Structure 1
């Protein structure tokens, strides 16, 4: 285990002493915290108490909101850490726990958005698949539990390793800002860990999500009204924006920084730190996903803010039931439209 600052590169030491950067990151975290707690608090209230029935899509949205609220609750600790000049004084266990919350939010969000995209794809592009399955809500709950289990099992080293790092010459103890080689037992273990994060938990879901939304837009472009297609495009744009703006930079830089730090004694620490900051923005954008993905959520929100409701013809066919994979109503509605044409 490395326990001295002599092996830290100058860029990392410089960042720890850069007050302006610390304040700027703290301000971003403060803004994200307020938007996160207000937006996702309202979303959770709408999804749990005002949205019925609790379809599979709603269950996925509740799961996504839960991870966002957990991040919002953890951010004040990160803000305090930044404002104290990267000094962590809450102990090793709390450092590991809050780090786990950060990365669990990211990867559970990635997997949940992939699940929502598959839901839209199967309901709109493949309406006949799994139409006879009755326990769609149970499948959604099991899927959410599987996501949490997968992410927590991959991130398990974060809970079993001391993520703090003492820097005597600066008089600070950092929290997950200095990577330790002994967090994992071997180079192979590190390779497996980084590969799983970058490719299994990010790149694969990103490819699946992109495929699903492109297919949905193409399908609606042929069979649906312009308003339906426009809403599908907005939903796809927001989801892909979250991936490219929030998740992609952090995963790419985490992989690159880890390799450089572990094997070449170099780093991209400044860029990685900023990308971690931007990764939290996903919790502010997720409520927009609910708005475009669920007609019921959209109508309830419009009622609260006294906005006029849109006409029923302006809603997506899939939103008539808004359930996992397909519904007879959505399929029959498509047949009825084709017959009228």
Structure 2
């Protein structure tokens, strides 16, 4: 993609969901488009044109967004590391649902670890200060882990669906080996879908603004449209349909058992409550982002007109979506009774080991003095 003097391209700091799905949202804050679908300056623009759609004063974005992203990153790293420690270091083996939730925590952890690079990118006015390799890797990792997160939720939804709706066959289907193989498949699928990000994301210099953008370099509008439609379909529409179907069936099964006065195993009930809370949090945090992304595709293809309201909503929905990576560990602690028990047992074991270690050191020091 090149720039010339006959066409004036402008940074679009509020319009965030063009060339990439979630990950690269921040890079697309300052997206640079190909000639066929770029926003250009012209003398006969109406109020739906660029001057109406793009706020001139972006200082608020550069001031507030980087600290917010850094806070999300720090909290996300601390909370998700804690979750992984509880799941991985506890002496008791994880259940099928816990295997999926631990992988979800791993995906959230990888995502928030890459966000500080984009916080710095935003702080510098969308001038990428790092290498092209970091531009590619961080973008691909964020995309991959955002993609994997929703499919781990799909897996855990299916697990609860089988356990409650088809309890007679769940022992045969819900095996730890199958859960681990399912997680490997999801990670592999995420890697495949992240390859275009790694291949096409490049550093592009904008001479008009004297800025270097980390941008997804799709030359033709057909590429852009195909990429966005594929992304929206497989990272939002398909998984959300599966999640909603399983959730409705799970709730119906729980109501039926309660109405028939059937006993529900406490473990199943606790796990289901936690998973429903995590699913609800995901839908609340991510659905607004994906809906505005669909509207953005319609806008870029000319079906909808550009409007400042959509741009502002896109901005808010993006940063709200990031918060999901912090919210999940909080839900584990507040809602997950089994997780609370695991955490207490792990803390007690750690405290016991520390006490024993201190006691041994004290004994040695006493012996040395004697």
Alpha-carbon contact 2:293-2:314 (below 8 Å) kept:
yes
1:277 aligns with 2:319: yes
Count matched residues.
Answer: 299
Distance in 2 (alpha carbons) for counterparts of 1:218 and 1:100: 39
Pick aligned residue for 1:257 from 296, 299, 303: 296
1:287 aligns with 2:329: yes
Alpha-carbon contact 1:15-1:270 (below 8 Å) kept:
no
Pick aligned residue for 2:236 from 183, 191, 202: 202
Pick aligned residue for 2:149 from 86, 103, 109: 109
Residue 301 of structure 1 corresponds to 343
Alpha-carbon offset, residue 180 of structure 1: 4.0
Pick aligned residue for 2:60 from 6, 10, 20: 20
Alpha-carbon offset, residue 67 of structure 1: 1.0
Distance in 2 (alpha carbons) for counterparts of 1:274 and 1:51: 42
Query: 1:242/1:121 Cα in 2 relative to 1: closer, same or farther (>3 Å)?
Result: same
Distance in 2 (alpha carbons) for counterparts of 1:296 and 1:237: 14
Alpha-carbon offset, residue 279 of structure 1: 2.0
The correspondence of residues 317-336 of structure 1 with structure 2, limited to 5 A, is none
SS in 1 for 2:171: coil
The answer to which of 29-38 and 16-25 deviates more is 16-25
Alpha-carbon offset, residue 122 of structure 1: 0.7
Pick aligned residue for 2:255 from 221, 224, 235: 221
Larger radius of gyration: 2
Query: 1:100/1:304 Cα in 2 relative to 1: closer, same or farther (>3 Å)?
Result: same
Query: 1:235/1:16 Cα in 2 relative to 1: closer, same or farther (>3 Å)?
Result: farther
Residue 8 of structure 1 corresponds to 10
Alpha-carbon contact 1:234-1:292 (below 8 Å) kept:
no
Residue 189 of structure 2 corresponds to 150
TM-score normalised by structure 1 residue count = 0.75
Alpha-carbon offset, residue 159 of structure 1: 0.6
Query: 1:272/1:101 Cα in 2 relative to 1: closer, same or farther (>3 Å)?
Result: farther
Distance in 2 (alpha carbons) for counterparts of 1:293 and 1:53: 20
Distance in 1 (alpha carbons) for counterparts of 2:176 and 2:242: 22
SS in 2 for 1:166: strand
Distance in 1 (alpha carbons) for counterparts of 2:85 and 2:187: 22
Pick aligned residue for 1:36 from 62, 76, 98: 76
Distance in 1 (alpha carbons) for counterparts of 2:168 and 2:194: 37
RCO comparison, higher one (Cα < 8 Å, 6+): 1
Residue 33 of structure 2 corresponds to none
Distance in 2 (alpha carbons) for counterparts of 1:266 and 1:23: 25
Alpha-carbon offset, residue 22 of structure 1: 1.8
Distance in 1 (alpha carbons) for counterparts of 2:3 and 2:187: 33
Pick aligned residue for 2:133 from 93, 100, 106: 93
Distance in 1 (alpha carbons) for counterparts of 2:274 and 2:170: 27
Alpha-carbon contact 1:121-1:216 (below 8 Å) kept:
yes
The answer to which of 57-66 and 273-282 deviates more is 273-282
Distance in 2 (alpha carbons) for counterparts of 1:130 and 1:238: 22
TM-score normalised by structure 2 residue count = 0.70
Residue 218 of structure 2 corresponds to 181
Residue 180 of structure 2 corresponds to 141
Distance in 1 (alpha carbons) for counterparts of 2:334 and 2:158: 15
SS in 1 for 2:167: coil
Deviations 1:152-209 (A, max 9, x none): 2223211111433322233221223xx5432xx671x444422222122211211211
Q: Please tell me the root mean square deviation across aligned C-alpha atoms, in Å.
A: 3.3
Deviations 1:65-120 (A, max 9, x none): 11111112112211211222211021222112111122222211110011111111
SS in 1 for 2:172: coil
What are the ranges of 5 or more consecutive residues in structure 2 without an aligned counterpart?
15-29, 31-53, 349-370
